[in-house]
Structure 1
């Protein structure tokens, strides 16, 4: 083997290690991104469940008045760890909008919102 060829081969030493480190860093970053997306999806589902239960709870006490219905929705939201942003009563329909915090790790905390309606079935549809 010539001296120039031996020098060229020595320059390639460690190339696979560098590539493996870069690939591993990419996989770790991808895993973190997928984990953050999962956190947001779970927060959105929890907010939707709280909105659904809040609207059903409000509709169950609607005979006592709109204030009692919205108070029930707020209580259900409080127990589920969300904030009721809006509660609207129109005739026998109750619309509840809730907001919940979703932690994005290094990106901070963002709000996710969900809405639900509860009331009698519309027979004309």
Structure 2
């Protein structure tokens, strides 16, 4: 009977580790996707501010963030430099990213 208990315990530990590793991998992928969305939103705002695209910079950033599955929580323009903060949940946990784009100094 002790062999069965040991096998069930080992299986439980293995499953727990596998689920934990899969969750960490999914969280890392979500963070990468969210960071890329923030970069794209900041670039869109900076391009709009420079006149390369038409529209209002922060509205353009909000559109890009929404297409990436996130919401724009803050957008600051300093001349042609755009700084955006976006948010998107990961399961029950909040996730956020920030990006900045503009011409070189």
For the pair 1:114 / 2:102, whether they are aligned, the reply is: no
Using the alignment, how far apart are the partners of 2:30 and 2:68 within structure 1? 12
SS in 1 for 2:38: helix
Give the Å deviation of 1:16. 1.3
**Which digits, 9 at most, give the CA deviation of each residue in 1:9-64, with x for residues without a partner?**
xxxxx211110110000000111111111121111111101100000111111045
RMSD, aligned α-carbons: 1.2
For the pair 1:73 / 2:61, whether they are aligned, the reply is: yes
Structure 2 residue corresponding to 1:92, chosen from 67, 80, 103: 80
Q: Who wins on radius of gyration, i.e. which is larger?
A: 1
Unpaired runs of 5+ residues, structure 1, are 1-13, 104-108
Equivalent position of 1:16 in the other structure: 3
User: Aligned ranges for residues 42-81 of structure 1 at < 5 Å?
Assistant: 42-63=29-50, 68-81=56-69
Normalised by the length of structure 2, the TM-score is 0.91
- List, as ranges, runs of 4+ consecutive aligned residues in structure 1 with deviation greater than 6 Å: none
Unpaired runs of 5+ residues, structure 2, are none
Using the alignment, how far apart are the partners of 2:87 and 2:29 within structure 1? 13
Number of equivalences: 102
Residues 49-58 or 38-47, more deviating: 38-47
Are the equivalent residues in 2 in contact too, given 1:59–1:93 (CA < 8 A)? yes
